[in-house]
Structure 1
Amino acid sequence: MSIRSTLARLPFGMGTVAAVGAVALVATAGVVLMPGDSVSSDDAAHGVLEEYTSAPTEQWTLDDTSLPGLTGDGDVTIADVHRGDWLVSYTAGIRRQYVLVDANTGSLRWDAPVNAGFGACAFNTAGQVGCAVRTRTDGPDNGFYLVSDSGSLERQTNESDTSALVGLATDFVHVNSTRYQVSRRTIDGEVRWSRTFASAATPSYTDGVLVVQNTDGSAQVLDPLTGDDVLACRTCTVQTYPTGVLVSHDPLGRASVDFHPVVNGVVDADSVHTARSQSLVSGPSTLPVLGAAGDQSMETHGRYQVVDPATGDALWQVNDKELSKVHTRPCGPLVTVARKDRSRVFLSLAEGTVIGELPPPAFGDPSADIDKLACVGASDDIAVFTDGNQLTAYRPSTGSVAWTYPIGGAAYDIDGRIALQQGSTLTVLAP
């Protein structure tokens, strides 16, 4: 029996499977792109790429010839994005410097880089750049600054203990130097709320949801207005989607996933469903993919479901005796599942339709073996994977490799474009 014939709408430990119209799913996930449309940062975080249908070309590169103070062994990263502007961070000695870059051309918008020292810079939602400067010695006086369009610093407060920033509306979420204290502050220094955590905290703001993940394995979803816990968990991870928040637990192998709806930007503190003995398959995707975990992992073959993040209801599932229990790869608007013979099937996440199949990978070519690769992102027609040495793009409809591109580092989906972080070089590839 083929995977094509065993796509099912049957109960799979999550209640009755509902058939949801493709139009509604597309509106929720934001995965259909008309020619010329750009991909939003939130969609890119879920693996949606522009149409890289043919081998990409280098659009622009930043390196030690264009970034003042960058040494050959420094790293260059994309710290934050806001529409057509990217904040690029790099090391100069032991400190961090920031430049504002035109995402289309790579040209520097500021007259000179901002030396944040041991601090950080970020965009707020309004598009303002805030910088917490902690140089300790030479450089700008310590404090919090707004940066003008030309790159000049406009000091707002004397605050000097911030090591990381996350933009939130017209404010910023500050993380102090120990990373135990997190606070939301206005640009002129008013503290709206402050929290101290039991271990180092890393906040993020994606899909309109403020999440704090801690080094002790715990996590919290915070009310952005008060800083209070909307929900909290221990030994867990939190994944956000535009319409729901998924909390994954794995205490002593008893895996489960809780579903919390998001309505008008507000996260429901009460879980509307718990998927027991299941886990979220890792990989950037527009809809969650769940697989069996715990006792169910003893089954002889794989079973996977694509679910509604707002309800936990299964939209569709695949259950085939020839399906592998491992190496499923969600990727943007697509998912690819492996058979036991190492061949693959690509399916649309929104509809569950089979797009195409791949033959088993050739021996001696690990860079083209999806079992060993991570998803960079995908469009409706192309899925791009990487192993750190090569980008490999597949054309799912034909089961062929569309193109390859050699790299020497990490690849990211930023605003729908492929960005390569290769040591002291940052390169953006044009679709």
Structure 2
Amino acid sequence: MSSRSRARALSARLPFGIGTVVLILCAAMLVTVGVVLSGGKYQVDDTEYAYGELRDYHRAPSIAWTIVGHEDLPDYRDEVTIQVVDTSDEGWLIAYPSGLGRSFTMVDRRNGRMLWDSPINAGQGDCAVNEAGQVGCAVQLGTPLDDGFYLVDDAGHPTQTSEYLDTKKVVGLGNNFLRVNRVGHQVSLNTPAGKTIWARTFAAPVVDIEVTGDIVVVKTADASQYLVNPTNGDNRIACDQCNIALYPTGVTVEHQDHNAERVTSYATVNGRVDADPVDDSEGLQVESGPSTLALLTASNRIFADRGEYEVRDPARHGALWRISDRELSKSGAIACGSLVNFGRLDGSRTTYALADGKHIGSGPPPGPEQPILANPACIGSTDTTMILSNQGQLTALTPENTVAWEQGVGSPGLIKVVEGYIVLSEGATMSVLRPN
């Protein structure tokens, strides 16, 4: 790895007695072309919404559009969630319960209108979109299609290109498709025509595959994770009892073995993760949550008498900034989009910008205008507001620890972020919340 110069450290006293934040360097933001729903129309938006960054939801949103399973989706069954499973330039690929498994169809992201003449019933199989915009479906026990692998055109018409190959999961990777077999032990990369580029077997069943560009993370049932080379399937990084987290500039690997906790970071170079580590720090853990930078904590150390946290850019050695104070809680920190929110021993909370440690605001303990946060999960951030999943509802938390807006989520419920939009799946409906 080439050496990197370090910026001169700056320090600033925080309000409310919260220790000291040390600024070491700043991070850059990536932008790309996008669109935003406003008043039912698209407006140009040049921001890339990823890593917990949302479109504008600082005020209570209205519903942009809703799909009702029993009314809009042929052969929909049960009160089971409808969800977005992939995206393309044309629209969103949604899946819903149908027949002996699931059906898939493409909808217009602007209004929820069906773009296909009829859905693809994949039965026990799966569908996904590759970077070329092709929709590939592995069909098993579907109706009326025979078992096989199909490409689906823009009108929803399928053409069989290869055999079924015992596939239960499909994920787009470049112009090809990753396929996981029925028992979950084998992963293969195949062309749309069905030619196998590579295949490998894992000791434990695969439970998830995360693909971001050319970065492929395979997670297995024994808590092992693998960051694999997309060209041949070989390991770039492999670990047991660990978690690999992706960020705009690299990845962190949190090793979770008892009394041997540590965090190793790797930089992304030309879209791929460099196998040489940038940093390796013992005794630290990564706070979960989609965020633009990694929040690490040392508060788990035995006999720690304060909350201790630091923010890392995986592509750089050392911390961007640190915070340590006896009044800071050792738990309950929330890394969310471009923000981080800390709890204090008296129940109050305080918010900072992840990029530079700038203090944004603080608020009192829970009260008439302050929410009770019980195991909140980050959905994303919008400007200085965090959107959290909290006790069965969406809660928009301001830096002053007040509620900007709340919205209940029905059961069974699922909250997803798709291209910066908040999508709610509740029972037999799926709705998109319109940004402000």
Structure (1/2) with the larger strand percentage: 2
Structure 2 equivalent of residue 203 of structure 1: 209
Aligned pair 1:123/2:124, yes or no?
Answer: no
Aligned length: 411
Structure 2 equivalent of residue 315 of structure 1: 320
Structure 2 equivalent of residue 65 of structure 1: 71
Cα distance in 2, alignment partners of residues 113 and 213 from structure 1: 30
- Indicate the SS of the match to 1:27: coil
- Indicate the SS of the match to 1:111: coil
Aligned pair 1:301/2:314, yes or no?
Answer: no
Query: What displacement does 1:60 show?
Result: 1.0
Query: What displacement does 1:164 show?
Result: 0.5
Distance 1:388 1:58, change over 3 A: farther
Distance 1:141 1:39, change over 3 A: farther
Query: What displacement does 1:28 show?
Result: 5.3
Structure 1 equivalent of residue 404 of structure 2: 402
Distance 1:56 1:400, change over 3 A: same
Q: Where does the alignment leave 5 or more consecutive residues of structure 1 unmatched?
A: 10-17
Contact 2:54 2:420 in 1 (8 A): yes
Contact 1:59 1:427 in 2 (8 A): yes
> 2:384 pairs with 381, 384, 390, which one?
381
> 2:396 pairs with 393, 396, 414, which one?
393
Cα distance in 2, alignment partners of residues 65 and 388 from structure 1: 30
Cα distance in 2, alignment partners of residues 293 and 7 from structure 1: 16
Contact 2:95 2:103 in 1 (8 A): yes
Query: What displacement does 1:390 show?
Result: 1.7
Contact 1:134 1:160 in 2 (8 A): no
Q: Which amino acid aligns with 1:139?
A: P
Q: Which amino acid aligns with 2:333?
A: T
Trace 1:249-398 onto structure 2 (pairs within 5 A). 249-292=255-298, 294=300, 296-362=301-367, 368-387=371-390, 389-396=392-399, 398=400
Q: Which amino acid aligns with 1:265?
A: G
- Indicate the SS of the match to 1:205: strand
Cα distance in 1, alignment partners of residues 30 and 112 from structure 2: 32
Q: Deviations over 1:366-402 (max 9, x none)?
A: 9x32343211111123211122522111232x54321
Q: Where does the alignment leave 5 or more consecutive residues of structure 2 unmatched?
A: 1-13, 37-42
TM-score (norm 2): 0.89
Runs of 4+ more than 6 Å apart: none
Contact 2:178 2:190 in 1 (8 A): yes
Identity of aligned residues (%): 37
Distance 1:388 1:119, change over 3 A: farther
Cα distance in 2, alignment partners of residues 4 and 144 from structure 1: 61
Q: Which amino acid aligns with 1:357?
A: S
Q: Deviations over 1:146-178 (max 9, x none)?
A: 111100001111234111111111100000111
> 2:116 pairs with 107, 110, 126, which one?
110
Which structure has more RCO (C-alpha within 8 Å, separation ≥ 6)?
1
Contact 1:126 1:170 in 2 (8 A): yes
Structure 1 equivalent of residue 193 of structure 2: 188
Trace 1:37-76 onto structure 2 (pairs within 5 A). 37=45, 40=48, 43-44=49-50, 46-63=51-68, 64-76=70-82
Cα distance in 2, alignment partners of residues 376 and 84 from structure 1: 25
Query: What displacement does 1:82 show?
Result: 2.6
Q: Which amino acid aligns with 1:402?
A: A
Cα distance in 2, alignment partners of residues 335 and 29 from structure 1: 21
Q: Which amino acid aligns with 1:385?
A: L
Cα distance in 1, alignment partners of residues 292 and 90 from structure 2: 22
Query: What displacement does 1:405 show?
Result: 1.4
> 1:7 pairs with 20, 25, 28, which one?
20
Distance 1:155 1:211, change over 3 A: same
Cα distance in 1, alignment partners of residues 90 and 59 from structure 2: 24
Contact 1:7 1:316 in 2 (8 A): no
Distance 1:207 1:380, change over 3 A: farther
Cα distance in 2, alignment partners of residues 312 and 143 from structure 1: 48
Aligned pair 1:418/2:426, yes or no?
Answer: no
Aligned pair 1:226/2:232, yes or no?
Answer: yes
Q: Deviations over 1:14-42 (max 9, x none)?
A: xxxx6213xxx132599xx99841654xx
Structure 2 equivalent of residue 13 of structure 1: none
Q: Which amino acid aligns with 2:129?
A: F
Cα distance in 1, alignment partners of residues 372 and 103 from structure 2: 38
Cα distance in 1, alignment partners of residues 375 and 31 from structure 2: 27
Cα distance in 2, alignment partners of residues 124 and 175 from structure 1: 15
- Indicate the SS of the match to 1:65: helix
> 2:252 pairs with 246, 253, 263, which one?
246
> 2:177 pairs with 172, 197, 210, which one?
172
